[in-house]
Amino acid sequence: DSGVTQTPKHLITATGQRVTLRCSPRSGDLSVYWYQQSLDQGLQFLIHYYNGEERAKGNILERFSAQQFPDLHSELNLSSLELGDSALYFCASSEPDTTYGYTFGSGTRLTVV
Amino acid sequence: GQQLNQSPQSMFIQEGEDVSMNCTSSSIFNTWLWYKQDPGEGPVLLIALYKAGELTSNGRLTAQFGITRKDSFLNISASIPSDVGIYFCAGRLTQGGSEKLVFGKGTKLTVNP
């Protein structure tokens, strides 16, 4: 158990729908990062939050949004889903000083049918 | 933006063989990290390197932080079937007052028993 909790583990939904992925960072970590990984692909950075504030955006579609709440958990909202949004979505957390890297959750596998 | 060139993209080896993979960049990083991702799981940190020239081992794994701070390699000796997975390098840098990790695209390792 890495200490980063992601729910749900699996999600199957239809095109056009909206889903919310949830992440609880490791205790003490203020940063949360979201990544998308399509089949056998690398990790595509989506967005970074630090202590409730958006810090950096990567290749995140306008249909996607995220937020980090006062208790530091984060949610990634995916709307108007398309077949191509099917992927593994990872959340990672880190201390303010990223010397020790990021700690990843086990991911949410999203399947859009 | 910063890019990490990780090679090879994939490797197919026999059990017992040694493996070598590397990452290069045009940017200087102050930390290099190597992660392993088992199928269907999140990446897990294997080795972290903090000083140029540093050589660090973790069991059968050995990694080095290049002298120029622009490259790193990971060696796996006497591979076993459970070494199967995707290996990611990551470089840490400070940009615009915040720190972030930049990930390579991964090396997919297949070990034939």
Rounded Cα–Cα distance for residues B107 and A84 (Å): 23
Spacing of C-alpha B13 from chain mean position: 17
Which percentage of chain B shows pLDDT scores above 70?
95
In sequence order, what E strands does B15-81 have?
19-25, 31-37, 44-49, 55-58, 61-65, 71-76
pLDDT band at residue B2 using 50, 70 and 90 as cut-offs: low
Question: Inter-chain contact B40–A97, Cβ cutoff 8 Å?
Answer: no
pLDDT exceeds 80 at position A39: no
Q: Is B104 on the interface with A (CB under 8 A)?
A: yes
Distance, in angstroms, between B72 CA and closest chain A CA? 16
pLDDT value for B72: 97
Out of A55, A56, A106, the one facing B41 most closely (by C-beta) is A106
Q: What are phi and psi of A8, to 5 degrees?
A: -75, 175
pLDDT band at residue B94 using 50, 70 and 90 as cut-offs: confident
pLDDT value for A41: 73
Question: Inter-chain contact B43–A107, Cβ cutoff 8 Å?
Answer: no
Residue pLDDT, tens place only, A52-86: 999 888 889 999 999 999 999 999 999 999 999 99
- For A:13-72, CB contacts with B below 8 A are 40-43, 45, 48, 50, 55-56
pLDDT value for A1: 83
Higher pLDDT, A56 or A6: A6
Question: Inter-chain contact A56–B92, Cβ cutoff 8 Å?
Answer: no
